[in-house]
Amino acid sequence: MLNIVIFGAPGSGKGTQSEYIVRKYGLHHVSTGDVLRAELKDGTELGKIAKGYMDEGKLLPDDLIVHMLASKLDGLKDSKGVIFDGFPRTIAQADALKKMLTTRGQDVSVMLNLEVPEDELMTRLIKRGRETGRTDDNEETIKNRLTVYHSQTTPVIDWYKREGKHRHIDGIGTKERIFRDICEVVDAVND
Ligand code: AP5
Ligand code: MG
């Protein structure tokens, strides 16, 4: 079983690289942001709760997200493994993921930390906002998302370093070059 956590700031390329990884390694892609946007579109209770947090660039409460993720995992069949995109984003979520996988006799294989300088993140997200209309891709909300990333999410890096699972990935350059670097790391843990 190959379970990958793809980690990084807003706009670092988690979703983009997840698509390549899914195609090459046949994993299930679980993006908490995508799940929440689908709930919002469907007008579910969870979607209504999520909207306020997402519009402000704040994280949803851990218990809600952990519950949502657990039911996603329960729904997966014939899995070669999962790529977790946008989760865990807090220490509590990292602890919860470890417990969830342990009860299934599994663990995280590797955590890929996509590192990209802040000015590049802002440029990418403003561009995407213009092109796709994603509502949290406006300057004010992006700034909030980055602040939340630094205060609540970066402690997760040390958490995975302590587990011996953290790998740095240079997230600047072509999508193809970044993917080649990712494959080297993944192939080394997937023997
Ligand atoms: P989420 O959807 O996870 O958003 P995010 O983390 O802010 O990250 P993005 O999806 O914006 O960026 P990405 O890293 O996927 O980059 P992408 O590949 O798209 O979360 C949204 C919200 O949901 C949160 O703010 C929160 O409210 C809530 N939420 C989600 N998970 C949660 C959790 N676990 N706990 C609590 N709340 C949660 O790339 C970005 C752009 O750059 C694209 O246009 C892409 O084409 C371009 N690009 C990609 N790679 C390159 C490259 N190498 N060169 C140039 N451009 C590139
Ligand atoms: Mg994404």
Q: Which of 1-5, 17-21, 72-76, 182-186 has the lowest mean pLDDT?
A: 72-76
158-174 pLDDT tens trace: 999 999 999 999 999 99
- Output the pLDDT for position 79: 82
Cα angle for residues 153, 156, 157 (degrees, 5° grid): 110
End-to-end CA distance of the chain: 11
41-96 pLDDT tens trace: 999 999 999 999 999 999 999 999 999 999 999 988 878 999 999 999 999 999 99
The distance between the two most distant Cα atoms of the chain, rounded to a whole number of Å, is 44
Question: What residue type is assigned to position 17 of the chain?
Answer: Q
Q: Give the orientation angle of helix 155-163 with respect to helix 91-103, to 10 degrees.
A: 40
Per the annotation, the verdict on 143 as an active-site residue is no
Compute the distance from residue 85 Cα to the ligand 2 centre, in Å. Answer: 7
**3-class DSSP state of 153:** helix
Beta carbons within 8 Å of 170's beta carbon, 6+ residues apart = 115, 178, 181
**What's the half-sphere exposure (Cβ side, CA atoms, 13 Å) at 21?**
32
- Nearest CA, atom 6, ligand 1: 10
Per the annotation, the verdict on 128 as an active-site residue is yes
Q: Which residue has the tokens 């790529």?
A: 83
Q: For residues 178 and 8, what is the distance between their CA atoms, to the nearest angstrom?
A: 13
Nearest ligand to the CA atom of 136: 1
Per the annotation, the verdict on 23 as an active-site residue is no
- Residues recorded for the chain: 191
Among 14, 37, 124, 165, the active-site one is 14
Structure tokens that stand for 76 in this block: 């997966």
Ligand 1 nearest atom to the CA of residue 134, by list position:
11
